A and B are shown apart, each in its own frame.
Chain A
Amino acid sequence: MPDVVVIGSGVVGAACAYYAARAGLTVTVVDRGPVAGGTTGAGEGNILVSDKGPGAELDLATLSARLWRDLAAEVAGGAERPFGDLVEYEPKGGLVVAETPGILNALTGLADRQRVHGVTAVAVPPEDLRAYEPHLAGGLAGGVHYPQDAQVQPMLAAAHLIRLSGARTRTGAEVTGLLRGAGGRVTGVRTARGDIPAGAVVNAAGTWAGEIAAFAGLTLPVLPRRGFILVTEPVPPLIRHKVYTAAYVAGVASDDAGLETSAVVEGTKAGTVLIGASRERVGFDRTVSLPVLARLAAQATALFPRLADVRVIRTYCGFRPYCPDHLPVIGADRRTPGLFHACGHEGAGIGLAPATGRLIAAAIGGAEPPVDPAPFLPGRFAA
């Protein structure tokens, strides 16, 4: 019997498995699909500190960014290459640009407050923007450079974290219920391919985590927030950083159910350019929306006019797992002993995964948490 069974092989479940194993626990990961086939397979892989205002999530993000950097440098498990190479870790840095002096004011104000929390933020006057990004549009009011922002290939990251954890992996096994013991304690999972008893169960089912909680009679308000990404044909290197407009910061934190978009543009090692980001609450509807794609295209070409003649070759969408208060749910569910949640990371699950894994490993093993876990505890939803 494993010490821990993790439901979900996305990047969050993978990080939980990895840090639990590092803490000496034996782990099994179950997923109804293949490894990392959920939202992780639709994410862009940015590890961002830049888009978070001061508060609990920023503390989690700065810790996580550091953990990713440390992980990237490790050469583990007899590998020939460092982990960072395997998962295409790129400490490329972020550049946030402001269209108007008013927006720039808000942006630099945010940067000032972020600095207090350990974020490196370098103000970039308009005349210097092209030294960072030669192909940026003219007429921008200025920007802020965030050297801590980085990127990984999220699926590779999840898959390699699971491999390094040494966890047993059961793909194609849907969890259909929770095993319960004395006092209602969760003692494992029921899957379509048999029961898996375990000392503790981690619910890392992403956007579907509410369904797992419901198996224990609990409500966990994790809901889908759809996002589309455009992918271009491969082009010679054009864009160096993750570049986005300051409007993105407002969109991330917004409560609006309607469509919000902001230009988020970056190049990849494969030569393609990734263009986001849209946010809408439309349930799990995968129908492609041309107006959304069009808006993403318009915003990207406004930011980088050189992209106008570059062709889009594909698009995909995913469903960010969000909670009403826009904070992830991490930690023991005091309502049900044996059950831990690690979900609801919205548009930041890749970035926040390692810190989440550390928190979960500490919670299960009774160790000292790396950051204050209180703001993330599931108890906040208890009626």
Chain B
Amino acid sequence: MRPYDLAVVGAGPAGLACAVAAGRAGLRVVLVDGGPRLGGQYYRHAPPSYRATRPGVLHHGWRTFAALAAALPALDVDVRLRHRVWAAETAPDGLRLHCLAGDREETPVTFPAARLVVATGAHDRVLPFPGWDLPGVLTAGGAQALLKGELVLAGRKVVVAGTGPFLLPVAAGLAAAGARVRGVFEAGRTAGLAAHPGILLAHPGKLAEAAGYGLTLAAHRVPYRGRHAVVAAHGNTALTSVTVAKVDAGWGPIPGTERMVPCDTLAVGYGFTPQLELALQLGCATRTDADGGHIVAVDARQATDVPGVYAAGESTGVGGAPLALVEGRIAGLAAAGRPAPARLLRLRARLREFARALHAAYPVRDGWRGWLRDDTVVCRCEEVPYARLREALALGAADARSVKLLARPGMGPCQGRMCGYAVGRLAGSPEGLGHRPIAQPIRLADLARFEGDPT
């Protein structure tokens, strides 16, 4: 196969903006995403067969997406949806993306390219608590994805909990679409950003967006409580209620404040974890973000320290769709050897400042450890209870990797994507369990095909 000038992994805001910018600059691009439609998480939308007349009501800035998607056909951009990248590697003659094509066929396909942009986004960051493995408990992003992408309500009686401003659009969307939202429980302070009035004034758009969600929630009489957390979920074979408690500034539950809230669904999220496996496979340097998470280190042109490899969007720091769009454009221009306009760079700086303020306003405090009981499952895949983790630490494990090797959290199919953050926090090592030389499961028979000439 003739190498592409540029391969972009991820067709979310960052990857889309990148592919369009690079395509407009004349590059021959392949845009690869595992999902069935363009848009990534933020612009996730229903299949065309749903014939939605108001596809944008669940999204801010839908027109931006529509314009980007409409620009693609005229450009030399080869859009490859339903292609999961399981490995990315540098080869003597450029870079290679190894994919599995088809959601159930999983046919191996390899794309060679001179340059590569990692725009793989993030997934929900979750914390364990008793009962969180019950059906009916799902991530905040998962509830949002089901609504935006499938037009299905996660449940009828819903509690939304966790931390960060993302809880608001989730609750507002569910309420607007007909769910009864029993409450939004923010473990931090609801007015987290009030401590940074300057930041808010500098971002009137964000303020208006937040106000919009506030109005929706008020119209549906949805309470929004700060310093409250869901500390346990209950039910026999499915969720029937949650325990909500008031928490102190360190997120420790305040005794006597617990109350049961009946619900069939809990949407819970404590921020986002960037998906770094492909960047790590390529050997890109990482650094610690303002929220303690691991992110790809990039320079002003969104270039990583590996020649020809760029990164944009949440993989370089969780900052939301507007920042992802800007970073994607800058990366696309840089990959084409074009300088980014100063206006774009200034916008990026402002959006990053906003993201930093959000991280500072919504940190994850250690008190969540107090929600755990001995038998609380920490690793959902291997069903490792908290007691086993503590044993591993007592035996001399001192970081996430050694806890994993002694007690198995992170060894199952999700490879620590769900428990890695908690295990890292419990073991005192920020890097978690992010190294995944195989980014997506691959059949042995398909892996075997790479013997000899891999492409």
Interface residues of A (CB under 8 A from B): 9, 33-37, 41, 155-156, 159-160, 162-163, 169, 171-172, 230-234, 270, 272, 275, 287-288, 290-291, 293-295, 297-298, 300-301, 307-316
Q: Are the CB atoms of B436 and A314 closer together than 8 Å? A: yes
Per a CB cutoff under 8 Å, which of B98, B436, B443 touches A308? B443
A310 to B436, CA, bound (A): 18
Q: Cβ of A275: which chain B residues have Cβ within 8 Å of it? A: 444
Question: In this assembly, does B249 line the interface, its C-beta being within 8 Å of a C-beta of chain A?
Answer: no
Q: Cβ of B360: which chain A residues have Cβ within 8 Å of it? A: none
Q: Cβ of B382: which chain A residues have Cβ within 8 Å of it? A: 270
Interface CB pairs A-B, < 8 A, 10: A33-B399, A35-B396, A35-B398, A36-B406, A169-B396, A171-B396, A288-B87, A294-B447, A309-B445, A312-B444
Question: In this assembly, does B450 line the interface, its C-beta being within 8 Å of a C-beta of chain A?
Answer: yes
Q: Cβ of B283: which chain A residues have Cβ within 8 Å of it? A: 287
Q: Are the CB atoms of B444 and A300 closer together than 8 Å? A: yes
A292 to B156, CA, bound (A): 51
Q: Are the CB atoms of B87 and A290 closer together than 8 Å? A: yes
In the complex with contacts A310-B444, A313-B441, A41-B405 CB distance below 8 A = yes
Q: Are the CB atoms of A294 and B449 closer together than 8 Å? A: yes
Question: In this assembly, does B437 line the interface, its C-beta being within 8 Å of a C-beta of chain A?
Answer: yes
Q: Assuming A308-B448, A310-B444, what are 8 further A-B pairs, CB within 8 angstroms?
A: A34-B399, A34-B402, A155-B402, A159-B395, A275-B444, A308-B445, A312-B438, A313-B438
The stretch among B13-21, B253-261, B320-328, B409-417 that forms the contact with chain A is B409-417
Question: In this assembly, does B146 line the interface, its C-beta being within 8 Å of a C-beta of chain A?
Answer: no
Contact with A along B403-428 (1 / 0, CB 8 A): 00110100111010000000000000
Q: Cβ of A311: which chain B residues have Cβ within 8 Å of it? A: 441-444
Q: Cβ of A37: which chain B residues have Cβ within 8 Å of it? A: 398-399, 401-402, 405
A275 to B445, CA, bound (A): 13
Q: Are the CB atoms of B402 and A41 closer together than 8 Å? A: yes
Q: Are the CB atoms of A291 and B454 closer together than 8 Å? A: yes
In the complex with contacts A159-B406, A301-B448, A308-B444, A233-B437 CB distance below 8 A = no
Question: In this assembly, does B89 line the interface, its C-beta being within 8 Å of a C-beta of chain A?
Answer: yes
In this complex, the member of B395, B397, B415 whose beta carbon has the largest number of chain A beta carbons within 10 angstroms is B395
Question: In this assembly, does B281 line the interface, its C-beta being within 8 Å of a C-beta of chain A?
Answer: yes
Question: In this assembly, does B299 line the interface, its C-beta being within 8 Å of a C-beta of chain A?
Answer: no
Q: Cβ of A287: which chain B residues have Cβ within 8 Å of it? A: 283
Question: In this assembly, does B451 line the interface, its C-beta being within 8 Å of a C-beta of chain A?
Answer: yes
In this complex, the member of A295, A297, A310 whose beta carbon has the largest number of chain B beta carbons within 10 angstroms is A297
- Nearest A residue to B416 by beta-carbon distance? A314
Distance (whole angstroms) from the CB of B277 to the closest CB of chain A: 11
Q: Are the CB atoms of A312 and B398 closer together than 8 Å? A: no
In this complex, the member of A9, A35, A309, A313 whose beta carbon has the largest number of chain B beta carbons within 10 angstroms is A313
Distance (whole angstroms) from the CB of B99 to the closest CB of chain A: 13
Distance (whole angstroms) from the CB of B218 to the closest CB of chain A: 46
In this complex, the member of B98, B382, B450, B452 whose beta carbon has the largest number of chain A beta carbons within 10 angstroms is B450
In the complex with contacts A41-B401, A314-B438, A315-B437, A297-B411 CB distance below 8 A = no
A75 to B166, CA, bound (A): 52
A300 to B445, CA, bound (A): 9
Q: Are the CB atoms of B413 and A233 closer together than 8 Å? A: yes
Q: Are the CB atoms of A295 and B451 closer together than 8 Å? A: yes
Per a CB cutoff under 8 Å, which of A162, A231, A233, A291 touches B451? A291
- Nearest A residue to B411 by beta-carbon distance? A270
Q: Cβ of B451: which chain A residues have Cβ within 8 Å of it? A: 291, 294-295, 298
Q: Cβ of B445: which chain A residues have Cβ within 8 Å of it? A: 297, 301, 308-309
Q: Cβ of A290: which chain B residues have Cβ within 8 Å of it? A: 87, 89, 98, 450, 454
In the complex with contacts A234-B412, A270-B408, A295-B451, A34-B398 CB distance below 8 A = yes
Q: Are the CB atoms of A34 and B450 closer together than 8 Å? A: no
Distance (whole angstroms) from the CB of B112 to the closest CB of chain A: 14
Distance (whole angstroms) from the CB of A285 to the closest CB of chain B: 11
Interface residues of B (CB under 8 A from A): 87, 89, 98, 281, 283, 382, 392, 395-399, 401-402, 405-406, 408, 411-413, 415, 436-438, 441-445, 447-452, 454
In the complex with contacts A290-B89, A290-B98, A294-B454, A314-B447 CB distance below 8 A = no
Q: Cβ of A294: which chain B residues have Cβ within 8 Å of it? A: 447-451, 454
A169 to B452, CA, bound (A): 46
In this complex, the member of A9, A171, A172 whose beta carbon has the largest number of chain B beta carbons within 10 angstroms is A171
Per a CB cutoff under 8 Å, which of B87, B396, B411 touches A34? B396
Q: Cβ of B444: which chain A residues have Cβ within 8 Å of it? A: 230, 232, 275, 297, 300-301, 307-312
Q: Cβ of A160: which chain B residues have Cβ within 8 Å of it? A: 395
A298 to B438, CA, bound (A): 17
- Nearest A residue to B449 by beta-carbon distance? A294
In this complex, the member of B406, B415, B441 whose beta carbon has the largest number of chain A beta carbons within 10 angstroms is B406
4 nearest A-B pairs in the assembled complex, by CB-CB distance:
A35-B396, A294-B450, A34-B398, A311-B441
- Nearest A residue to B445 by beta-carbon distance? A308
A92 to B408, CA, bound (A): 21
Q: Are the CB atoms of A297 and B448 closer together than 8 Å? A: yes
A316 to B442, CA, bound (A): 15
Distance (whole angstroms) from the CB of A300 to the closest CB of chain B: 6
Q: Are the CB atoms of A33 and B398 closer together than 8 Å? A: yes
Distance (whole angstroms) from the CB of B50 to the closest CB of chain A: 32
Per a CB cutoff under 8 Å, which of A35, A293, A316 touches B450? A293
Q: Are the CB atoms of A155 and B442 closer together than 8 Å? A: no
Distance (whole angstroms) from the CB of A251 to the closest CB of chain B: 17
A251 to B132, CA, bound (A): 48
Distance (whole angstroms) from the CB of A80 to the closest CB of chain B: 13
A162 to B395, CA, bound (A): 8
A230 to B443, CA, bound (A): 11
Q: Are the CB atoms of B441 and A35 closer together than 8 Å? A: no
Distance (whole angstroms) from the CB of B292 to the closest CB of chain A: 20
Per a CB cutoff under 8 Å, which of B398, B437, B441 touches A172? B398
Distance (whole angstroms) from the CB of B27 to the closest CB of chain A: 26
Q: Cβ of A33: which chain B residues have Cβ within 8 Å of it? A: 398-399, 402
Distance (whole angstroms) from the CB of A167 to the closest CB of chain B: 10
- Nearest B residue to A171 by beta-carbon distance? B398
Distance (whole angstroms) from the CB of A258 to the closest CB of chain B: 15
Distance (whole angstroms) from the CB of A310 to the closest CB of chain B: 6
- Nearest A residue to B402 by beta-carbon distance? A34
A293 to B443, CA, bound (A): 12
Distance (whole angstroms) from the CB of A45 to the closest CB of chain B: 11
A136 to B398, CA, bound (A): 41
Q: Cβ of B405: which chain A residues have Cβ within 8 Å of it? A: 36-37, 41, 155
- Nearest A residue to B451 by beta-carbon distance? A294
Distance (whole angstroms) from the CB of B22 to the closest CB of chain A: 27
Q: Cβ of A159: which chain B residues have Cβ within 8 Å of it? A: 392, 395-397, 406
Distance (whole angstroms) from the CB of B373 to the closest CB of chain A: 20
Q: Are the CB atoms of B89 and A155 closer together than 8 Å? A: no
A233 to B438, CA, bound (A): 12
- Nearest A residue to B381 by beta-carbon distance? A234
Q: Cβ of B397: which chain A residues have Cβ within 8 Å of it? A: 34-35, 159
A316 to B411, CA, bound (A): 12
In this complex, the member of A36, A171, A294, A300 whose beta carbon has the largest number of chain B beta carbons within 10 angstroms is A294
A311 to B408, CA, bound (A): 19
A230 to B441, CA, bound (A): 11
Distance (whole angstroms) from the CB of A277 to the closest CB of chain B: 15
Q: Cβ of B438: which chain A residues have Cβ within 8 Å of it? A: 312-315
Distance (whole angstroms) from the CB of B34 to the closest CB of chain A: 15
In this complex, the member of A9, A307, A308, A312 whose beta carbon has the largest number of chain B beta carbons within 10 angstroms is A312
Distance (whole angstroms) from the CB of B13 to the closest CB of chain A: 29
A364 to B166, CA, bound (A): 63
- Nearest B residue to A273 by beta-carbon distance? B444
